[in-house]
C-alpha cells in the first residue's frame, strides 16, 4: 500500500513540536510524516526492551520522532482496550507520540551532572 | 549528525553495580573495568571505551568518575561513602536483558571478574594489577609505564573480533531508558493514547 496513512498527534507530540522544532521547519517535518505509507513502515525500526518495543523511531535532522502504528497501539500497550483514538474497525493510522533531540542529552563534563540537558 | 554517546560504558557500569552487593568507590570500579579491558584486549574485543592511563593510584580514566556521578544524579545509582545499586538499577538491567544475551562475550567476562574480585577492596585489586608482570598494550608492568601514559586504549584495537556497539534501535532505546524526563514524557503520551487526546494532522 503506497497511500499515506492517516495521522494523529498526541498532545505530547504537539507540545514537543512547538518547543523543540523551529517554526520554519515544522511544516517540512509534518509533510514527511503525513506521507508515510504502510509500505514505508518496515523502514522504521521498533525500539527494544519490553517497555519500549511497541514504538517505532523516525529520524529527521537531529530529531527522533516516536510513533506507533495504530494496530500496535490497539493490540499491544493499550490493554485493557480503552483507546478512544483507535477504532477497532479502522486501525490503519499512525499515532505520533513524541519528539526528542537525539544525543543532545549526555555531556561528558564534570560540571554538568545531568544525563540530559535541553 | 548528533554526537554519539558511549552509552555502552554506562550500561557496563550499571551491570557491574547490579552485581556488586557491597557497592564500590571510583577506585574499585576503575580497577575492575581495567581488568575487563585488559582481558578483552587480548581477545581483540572492544567492551568499555575507557582509556586507562597510569595514575598514582593505579589505572584510571576520569570519565569513570563522571559517569558514576551522572548516573547517581539521575537516580540510577545511590551514593553515600561509595556507590551502590538501587531499585532503579535493577529495573534497568532487567529491562535490557536481551542486550546482555546479544553481547554475552562481554558480560560473561565481567561476571567472572566480579566473581573473582567483587568482594575485594580497591586497594587489593590495585595490588593485584601491580603484581602482574605484563599488562596493557606494551606488555610491561604497571610501574614501567610513564605517569599518565595510556596502558589500555580500546581505540587501538584494530579489526576487533567483536565490539560492544549499540545499533540504532538499541541506541535510541537506551537513550530513552537512561533519561527519566524522556521516559516520563513517553508514559504521559501513552496516557494520551488511552484517553484519546489526539489531534488530527
Residue among A12, A47, A103 minimizing CB distance to B189: A12
> Which residue, chain included where needed, has cell 592511563?
B53
Burial annotation B43-53 (CB, 10 A radius, 16+ → b, else e)? eebbbbbbbbb
Q: What CATH number is given to the structural domain containing A76? A: 3.30.2310.20
Among chain B residues, CA nearest to A50: B95
Any domain includes B201: no
Domain assignment present for B80? yes
| Per-position b or e across B119-138, b if 16+ CB within 10 A of its CB | ebebeebbeebeeeeebbbe
Number of domains in chain B: 1
Of the pLDDT bands very low, low, confident and very high (cuts 50, 70, 90), residue A115 is very low
- Give the residues across from B79 on adjacent strands: B83
User: pLDDT category, A114, cuts 50, 70, 90?
Assistant: very low
pTM here is: 0.89
In chain A, the number of structural domains is 1
Average pLDDT value for residue range B136-159: 96
Give the distance from residue B171's alpha carbon to the nearest chain A alpha carbon, in angstroms.
9
The boundaries of the domain holding residue B140 are 7-195
Contacts of A102 (CB under 8 A, 6+ apart): A59, A62, A63, A64, B2, B172, B175
**Mean pLDDT computed over A39-62:** 90
- Position A1 in a domain: no
User: Is A19 domain-assigned?
Assistant: yes
Residue A117 resides in a domain:
no
Strands A7-10 and B78-79: unpaired
The yes-or-no verdict on residue B2 having pLDDT over 60 is no
Min distance B64 CA to chain A CA atoms (Å): 10
Q: A59: domain range?
A: 7-101
C-alpha cell recorded at residue B106: 562481554
Q: Is the CB of residue A65 less than 8 Å away from at least one CB of chain B?
A: no
Of A58-62, B58-62, B142-146, the least confident: A58-62
Could you tell me if residue B92 is inside a domain?
Answer: yes
Give chain A positions within 8 Å (CB) of B194: 78, 82-83
Establish if A73 belongs to a structural domain: yes
A41 falls within a domain:
yes
ipTM, 2 decimals?
A: 0.86
Is A115 inside any structural domain? no
pLDDT at position A118 over 50: no
Asked whether residue A107 is domain-assigned, the answer is no
Q: Does A111 reside within a domain?
A: no
Residues 6+ apart with CB under 8 A from B128: B117, B120
Indicate whether B48 belongs to any domain.
yes
Amino acid at each position: 500500500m503506497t497511500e499515506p496513512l492517516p495521522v494523529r498527534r498526541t498532545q505530547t507530540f504537539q507540545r514537543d513540536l512547538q518547543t523543540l522544532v523551529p517554526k520554519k521547519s515544522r511544516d517540512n517535518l509534518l509533510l514527511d510524516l503525513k506521507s508515510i505509507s504502510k509500505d514505508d513502515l518496515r523502514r522504521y525500526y521498533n525500539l527494544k526492551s519490553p517497555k519500549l518495543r511497541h514504538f517505532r523511531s523516525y529520524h529527521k535532522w537531529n530529531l527522533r520522532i516516536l510513533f506507533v502504528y495504530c494496530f500496535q497501539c490497539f493490540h499491544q500497550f493499550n490493554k485493557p482496550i480503552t483507546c478512544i483514538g483507535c477504532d477497532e474497525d479502522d486501525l490503519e493510522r499512525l499515532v505520533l507520540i513524541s519528539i526528542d533531540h537525539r544525543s543532545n542529552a549526555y555531556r561528558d563534563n564534570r560540571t554538568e551532572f545531568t544525563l540530559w540537558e535541553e | 549528525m548528533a554526537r554519539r554517546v558511549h552509552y555502552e560504558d554506562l550500561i557496563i557500569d550499571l551491570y557491574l553495580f547490579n552485581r556488586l552487593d557491597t557497592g564500590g568507590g571510583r577506585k574499585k570500579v576503575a580497577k575492575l573495568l581495567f581488568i575487563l579491558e585488559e582481558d578483552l584486549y587480548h581477545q581483540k574485543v572492544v567492551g568499555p571505551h575507557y582509556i586507562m592511563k597510569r595514575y598514582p593510584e593505579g589505572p584510571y580514566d576520569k570519565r569513570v568518575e563522571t559517569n558514576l556521578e551522572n548516573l547517581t544524579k539521575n537516580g540510577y545509582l545511590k551514593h553515600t561513602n561509595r556507590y551502590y545499586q538501587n531499585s532503579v538499577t535493577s529495573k534497568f538491567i532487567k529491562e535490557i536483558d536481551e542486550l546482555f544475551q546479544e553481547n554475552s562475550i562481554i558480560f560473561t567476562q565481567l561476571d567472572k571478574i566480579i566473581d573473582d574480585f567483587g568482594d575485594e577492596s580497591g586497594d587489593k585489586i590495585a595490588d593485584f594489577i601491580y603484581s602482574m608482570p605484563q599488562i596493557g598494550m606494551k606488555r610491561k608492568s604497571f610501574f614501567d609505564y610513564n605517569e599518565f601514559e595510556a596502558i589500555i586504549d580500546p581505540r587501538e584495537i584494530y579489526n576487533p573480533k567483536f565490539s560492544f556497539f549499540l545499533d540504532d534501535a538499541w541506541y535510541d532505546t537506551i537513550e530513552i531508558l537512561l533519561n527519566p524526563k524522556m521516559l516520563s514524557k513517553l508514559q504521559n503520551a501513552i496516557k494520551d493514547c488511552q484517553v484519546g487526546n489526539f489531534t488530527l494532522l
